[in-house]
């Protein structure tokens, strides 16, 4: 929210008092004096009034996880292990998923406590491609390539998928690049040809690639460059 609104919401202050405090230079955001009430502050911002700490500010956290098959992309589940069960981190419940993977899908999963960042990472704008390796029950015909590139009509949602890029790597193995994330989209696209997906693995989201050193179930913090890519 805006800094002036944050201040005026405090029990001991009102809007006029907040403006006066800002004008007099008594408010600091992340150690810097702020006179601008329009400054956007978040849960990660440290806010001080004179020597009084009004908000300590949380540390923003960003992780990539190599999700294994059989683990649920959820914060809790009555039957299966969840991705949070794989994290040896304080306050794991403070984290949420930036995009999900099905129970039987493996690969790159992003977790954070930064809601604005995760919204950018998963925004349906087509700016950030998601790349998957796909294994199928039957051979993949070259006819799939043009159909995927044109987009497929999904009757349930009454929409046509964005153009997708399919690279056939072997008779039953391909790399698929999507620019959106519809419900069971990959399985439904191959299902258009009555070809069952028997293996699905996400290798990247935008510029973030799954670290090849991470075994299934392992994770690491994102680098500054990876965080800045969204």
- Strand, helix or coil at 173? strand
What is the C-alpha to C-alpha distance for residues 59 and 80, in angstroms, rounded to an integer? Answer: 29
218: left (phi > 0), else alpha (psi -120 to 50), else beta?
A: beta
Q: How far is CA 149 from CA 58, 99, 144, 167, in A?
A: 43, 23, 8, 11
- Strand, helix or coil at 80? coil
169: left (phi > 0), else alpha (psi -120 to 50), else beta?
A: alpha
CA-closest candidate to residue 55, choices 67, 68, 42, 66: 42
Contacts of 203 (CB under 8 A, 6+ apart): 107, 108, 131, 132, 133, 175, 209, 210
Task: State yes or no: is 102 an active-site residue.
Answer: yes
| Catalytic choice (85, 102, 135, 211) | 102
Q: Which residues are identified as catalytic?
A: 102
């Amino acid at each position: 929210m805006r800094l002036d609104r944050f201040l005026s919401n405090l029990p001991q202050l009102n809007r006029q008092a907040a403006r006066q405090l800002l004008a007099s230079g008594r408010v600091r955001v992340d150690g810097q004096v702020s006179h601008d009430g329009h400054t956007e502050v978040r849960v990660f911002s440290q806010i001080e009034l004179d020597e009084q700490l009004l908000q300590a500010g949380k540390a923003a956290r960003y992780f990539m996880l190599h999700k294994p098959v059989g683990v649920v992309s959820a914060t809790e589940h009555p039957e299966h292990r969840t991705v949070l069960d794989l994290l040896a981190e304080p306050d794991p419940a403070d984290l949420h998923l930036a995009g999900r993977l099905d129970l039987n899908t493996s690969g790159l999963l992003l977790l954070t406590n930064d809601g604005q960042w995760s919204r950018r990472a998963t925004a349906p704008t087509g700016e950030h491609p998601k790349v998957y390796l796909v294994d199928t029950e039957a051979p993949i015909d070259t006819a799939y390539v043009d159909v995927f590139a044109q987009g497929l009509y999904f009757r349930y949602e009454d929409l046509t998928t964005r153009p997708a890029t399919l690279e056939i790597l072997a008779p039953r193995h391909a790399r698929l690049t999507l620019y959106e994330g519809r419900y069971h989209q990959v399985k439904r696209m191959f299902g258009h040809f009555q070809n069952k997906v028997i293996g699905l693995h996400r290798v990247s989201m935008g510029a973030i690639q799954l670290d090849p050193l991470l075994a299934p179930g392992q994770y690491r913090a994102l680098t500054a460059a990876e965080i800045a890519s969204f």
